[in-house]
């Protein structure tokens, strides 16, 4: 049987080598179940709940050319992940993810159906099994 998608395991340092700040955690919505009470998305393989964690990538190159510095990581867990406490008052906490997998897909949101050029691109869905405080200090490379 051919899988419908491939999951590539990677260390979190490959996704955000300069670190990431946690902006919030919320339940991922399954739009097919809207209005039926519990409309939270469930993982297709395990049946566990899926949570969306919004993070800000601290890579200075991340926001170039109008791209967003915000990432959304889907965390599969029975309970809502709790971000660690911030080490700097007034700023979001640094976070790291465990068991990270990347799944490629085609983002065709910029395609128009009127026969003009399609600006589809390859994008990556980021999944993890947990949210933790960084194990080591983030050390950006010297310029």
Question: What tens digit of pLDDT does each residue of 23-62 get?
Answer: 999 999 888 777 777 888 998 888 899 999 999 999 888 8
> Measured at the alpha carbon of residue 11, what is the angle toward residues 26 and 9, in degrees to the nearest 5?
85
The pLDDT value recorded for residue 20 is 94
Does any domain span residue 79?
yes
Note the pLDDT tens digit of each residue in 53-65: 999 999 888 877 7
Where residue 47 falls (left for φ over 0; alpha for ψ -120 to 50; beta otherwise) is left
Does any domain span residue 138?
no
Does any domain span residue 48?
yes
Q: Considering the chain, what is the average pLDDT of its residues?
A: 85
pLDDT at residue 3 is higher than 90: no
Does any domain span residue 86?
yes
How would DSSP label each residue in 36-101? Answer: SS--B-B-TTT--BEEEEEEEE--TTTTGGG--SEEEEEEE-SS---PPPPSSTTSPPEEEEES-E
Note the pLDDT tens digit of each residue in 82-127: 999 988 888 999 999 999 999 998 878 777 766 667 777 788 899 9
pLDDT at residue 78 is higher than 80: yes
Domains: count for the chain: 1
Q: Which domain covers residue 38, as residue numbers?
A: 8-132
pLDDT at residue 76 is higher than 80: yes
Does any domain span residue 1?
no
Calpha distance 37→49 (Å, rounded): 14
Does any domain span residue 51?
yes
In contact, 125 and 52? CB cutoff 8 Å: no
Does any domain span residue 76?
yes
pLDDT at residue 2 is higher than 60: no
34 burial via Cβ count (<10 Å: 0-12, 13-18, 19+): exposed
Does any domain span residue 26?
yes
């Amino acid at each position: 049987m051919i899988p419908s998608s491939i999951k590539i395991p990677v260390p979190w340092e490959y996704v955000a080598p300069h670190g990431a700040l946690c902006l919030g955690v919320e339940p991922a919505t399954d739009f097919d179940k809207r209005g039926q009470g519990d409309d939270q998305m469930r993982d297709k393989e395990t049946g566990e709940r899926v949570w969306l964690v919004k993070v800000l990538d601290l890579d200075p190159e991340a926001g170039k050319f109008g791209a967003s510095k915000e990432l959304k990581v889907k965390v599969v867990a029975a309970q809502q992940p709790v971000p660690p406490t911030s080490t700097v008052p007034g700023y979001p906490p640094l976070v790291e993810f465990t068991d990270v997998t990347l799944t490629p897909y085609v983002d065709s949101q910029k395609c128009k159906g009127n026969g003009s050029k399609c600006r589809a691109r390859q994008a990556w869905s980021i999944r993890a099994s947990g949210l933790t405080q960084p194990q080591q200090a983030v050390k950006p490379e010297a310029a």
